[in-house]
Amino acid sequence: MSLAPGEQAAGIDETAAGAPRVIPARYDWRGFGFETRQIHSGELPEPGHGSRVTPIHLSNAFRFDDFQQTWDRFAGVEDGQLYSRHLNPTNQVAERRIADLEGGTGAIAVGSGTAAISSALLGLLESGDHFLSTASIYSGTQVLFDRALGRLGIEVDYVWDWRDRDEWERLIRPSTKAIFTETIPNPKNDITDIAAIAEIAHDHGIPLVVDNTVATPYLIRPIEHGADIVVHSSTKFLGGHGAGLSGLIVDGGRFDWAATSRHYGLLTDRQKPEVPSFLERFGTEHAFERYLRLTAVNDFGPALSSFNGFLLQQGLETLSVRMDRHVDNARALAGWLDEHPVVRSVDYAGLPSSPDHALAERLYGGRTGSVFAFTVPGGLEGARTLIDNLQVFSRMTNIGDTRSLAINPATTTHLSFSPERRERLGIDPGLIRLSVGLETLDDLITDLDGALGAVAARL
Ligand SMILES: Cc1ncc(COP(=O)(O)O)c(C=O)c1O
């Protein structure tokens, strides 16, 4: 079932006599608080048994009422279930919920964060196009940009200092069709100001795509700061338990695809003279999300399993509670590490010692997430000693798990980077990235203290 925003769906109740009675089900929770909406927003009625938790619809395809409905669904004249590659009722709940929490007009769920980023960009860019990204983004996304998109003839340039307007102006070309950034990059926790970057993008008629994985809409909502599209690796904090990969793309619904001198033909052009373009059919509000759902995601096929969609939804319901605890633990640990005699430096924007402190206070009240880094003496050998002496922290990639995780970026996430690029990104051989989980703070401190003691003993 597909409903327009504000529409109320029908649910079915059993009367005393056992006959079904249709009752209205609320799924539109606009105007309610964040915590209420993370639990209720987007839910669909389950008329069969009245299950309170959205069932896992493990069905590849959906039955049509009759010949005409089948035709209309394929023709796109009628909205609704067809095939799970582009719409599944379990995943739809997570889609509606994240759209609400981020303040977008719609969203689409896919199989991973990487699929969310590649799908979003494939909705904007064609071979021969160019885009810009800030340089400190997640290493895997840089590999996607340089290797995979490069192979398709889509070129990227990196902006090293997002505060430097001249650098942006030098790099923007007539063929530049997107700007990409992250709210809280990792491992360095070197936050960006979305409003400042959005201003540059919009001055040039370019949409801004923001990866909000590490911050989540609980800490910041990029669309409120001017972003046009938000992407997530919901594998991380949104899902929250490290149990299933997923990705989300949220359409801000505000970018005017026809009013810019740049050509967004995928959205504005008719594929056949008699078939209206996505912009003509769905307007500025929904053109991008519908293009992804019916074309980019449907054609490339990075579909999300409804089982993982269910896990994502379960995670979303406790987002605010977990994020508060993640950030409380992270801030306490960052402050403790900052004072530790063995630690050379700590990269956490919320710390008073950080060059980003003022921005962190303004945008996040100093609560810049729970993924950050610190540097131990002794380079790679110092890092090896620290990592090998951890007991509570897991030696693991991934972030945003309930568990605390630690990794040495130089020998893992940034291993394929040249030494020069690593150095320019501040990836010292002795850098340790933490994703701080929900465990007892004292246990995390004791664990790190013991491992730092081992590092000191080797000096
Ligand atoms: C900020 C960020 N974006 C995107 C991704 C990619 O997500 P996934 O692993 O779900 O493909 C990651 C993964 O670590 C990430 O940290």
* Residue identifier of the C-alpha nearest atom 3 of ligand 1: 233
Q: Do the domain assignments include residue 220? A: yes
For ligand 1, the distance from its centroid to the CA atom of residue 408, given in whole angstroms, is: 17
- Pocket probe mutation, ligand 1, options 189, 213, 216, max atoms within 8 Å of Cβ: 213
Same structural domain, 310 and 334:
no
* 271, part of any domain: yes
> Ligand 1 centroid to 332 CA: how many Å?
25
- Residue 163: pLDDT over 60: yes
Q: Are residues 307 and 327 in the same domain?
A: no
Residue list, ligand 1 pocket, CB within 6 Å: 112-114, 138, 140-141, 182, 211, 213-214, 233, 235, 245, 247, 399
For ligand 1, atom 8: residue with the closest CA: 113
Check whether 284 has a pLDDT greater than 60: yes
Using alpha carbons, select from 319, 298, 313 the residue that is nearest to residue 54.
313
Across 64-78, average pLDDT: 92
Atom number, ligand 1, closest to the C-alpha of residue 117? 4
For atom 12 of ligand 1, the residue with the nearest CA is 233
Per the DSSP assignment, residues forming a β-bridge with 372 are 434
Whether 34 shows a pLDDT value over 50: the answer reads: yes
Rounded to the nearest angstrom, the distance between the alpha carbon of 4 and the centre of ligand 1 is: 31
Q: How far apart are CA 193 and CA 200, in angstroms?
A: 11
Q: What is the pLDDT of residues 226-246, one digit of tens each?
A: 999 999 999 999 999 999 999
Q: Which of 269, 216, 258, 273 is nearest to 239 (CA)?
A: 216
| In-domain check, residue 27 | no
Ligand 1, residue 114: give the atom nearest the CA.
Answer: 11
Distance CA 125, CA 141 (A): 16
Residue 13 token pair: 């109740």
Please indicate, yes or no, whether residues 265 and 359 belong to a single structural domain of this protein: no
pLDDT category, 20, cuts 50, 70, 90? very low
Give 233 Cα–ligand 1 centroid separation in angstroms.
5
pLDDT number for residue 13: 41
> Over 60: is that where the pLDDT of 288 sits?
yes
What is the model's pLDDT at position 26?
60
pLDDT at residue number 3: 37
Closest residue to atom 7 of ligand 1, CA basis: 113
Q: Give the pLDDT band (50/70/90) at residue 188.
A: very high
Annotate 318-371 with DSSP letters as a single string.
THHHHHHHHHHHHHHHHHHHHH-TT--EEE-TTSTTSTTHHHHHHHHTT---SE
- pLDDT tens digits for range 320-362: 999 999 999 999 999 999 999 999 999 999 999 999 999 999 9
Q: Per the domain annotation, does 14 fall within a domain?
A: no
Q: How far is the CA of 390 from the centre of ligand 1 (A)?
A: 24
Q: How many angstroms is it from 244 CA to the middle of ligand 1? A: 12
What percent of the chain has pLDDT above 90?
88
Residue 181: inside a domain, yes or no? yes
454: CATH:
3.90.1150.10
Domain membership of residue 1 (yes or no) is no
Residue 22 has pLDDT above 70, yes or no: no
The tens digit of pLDDT for each residue in 290-307 reads: 999 999 999 999 999 999
Among 23-37, 74-88, 212-226, 387-401, the minimum mean pLDDT is found in: 23-37
Q: Number of structural domains, the chain?
A: 2
Q: What range defines the domain where residue 165 resides?
A: 67-316
The answer to whether residue 32 is domain-embedded is no
Domain final position from 271, 291, 316: 316
Q: How far is the CA of 114 from the centre of ligand 1 (A)?
A: 6
- Is 51 or 363 the better-scoring residue by pLDDT? 363
Clarify whether residues 326 and 311 are in a common domain. Answer: no
Residue 19 confidence (pLDDT)? 44
Residue 137 Cα: closest atom of ligand 1? 1
How many angstroms does the Cα of residue 141 sit away from the middle of ligand 1? 7
Residue pair 162/187 in contact (Cβ under 8 Å)? The answer is no
Query: Residue range 210-229: average pLDDT?
Result: 98
Averaged pLDDT, 78-105: 94
The minimum-distance atom of ligand 1 relative to the CA of 247 is 10
Residues 90 and 207 in one domain: yes
Distance CA 432, CA 378 (A): 12
Atom of ligand 1 nearest to the CA of 400: 16
Which one of 283, 301, 316 terminates a domain?
A: 316
Rounded Cα gap, residues 119 and 252, in angstroms? 16
User: Which ligand 1 atom sits closest to the C-alpha of 185?
Assistant: 1
> From the CA of 145, how far away is ligand 1's center (Å)?
13
Region 186-208: mean pLDDT is 98
Gap from CA of 218 to ligand 1 centroid (Å): 18
Does 15 have pLDDT greater than 70? no
Give the domain CATH number at 287: 3.40.640.10
Please state, in angstroms and rounded to a whole number, the distance separating the CA atoms of residues 245 and 235: 4
Q: In this structure, which residue's CA is closest to atom 16 in ligand 1?
A: 138
| Domain identity same for 309 and 192 | yes
Question: What's the pLDDT band for 442 if we cut at 50, 70, 90?
Answer: very high
Q: What is the pLDDT of residue 27?
A: 64
| 184 and 323 in a common domain | no
Nearest atom in ligand 1 to 236's CA = 10
Last residue of a domain, one of 293, 316, 339: 316
